Amino acid sequence: MAEVDPRIKQLKIKTNVVKRIAKEKFMYEKEAEQFEEKLEKMKADKRDEHELRKQAECVEESKAMVPDCMSRLRKAYKDLDESLQELLGEGELKDNEDVQAATTVLSDNKHLISA
């Protein structure tokens, strides 16, 4: 079995980290939205005050995770970008499928970083 270049192995790991954190951020935003909808429905149904407070806590917890995800995403994005630029600077791996995948992940998530 051919030995995988350790630089490519690290690039794959960093690419998957960016993908995972971006997905995590999206899921927390979606979860917060769902919890808010549920809270509004509970208010409309005039549910118990304790239940409303607990649901509001769920909303706040989900919303609080988004900034954490953003800071981790920025760090992971920067780390991946630096690794990719280093590999591209060497020139020999431009056509590697993992390098192309990393490039795609960076371009797909650029809007999240600049927001």
pLDDT at res. 15: 97
Q: Which residue has the higher pLDDT, 89 or 18?
A: 18
Buried b (16+ CB within 10 A) or exposed e, 64-98: ebeeebbebbeebbeebbebbeebeeeeebeeeeb
SS3 letters across the chain: CCCCCHHHHHHHHHHHHHHHHHHHHHHHHHHHHHHHHHHHHHHHCCCCHHHHHHHHHHHHHHHHHHHHHHHHHHHHHHHHHHHHHHHHHHCCCCCCHHHHHHHHHHHHHHHHHHC
Work out the pLDDT band at 96, boundaries 50, 70, 90.
Answer: confident
pLDDT at res. 87: 86
Work out the pLDDT band at 2, boundaries 50, 70, 90.
Answer: low
Residue in 104, 109, 69 with CA at minimum distance from that of residue 84: 104
pTM of the model: 0.84
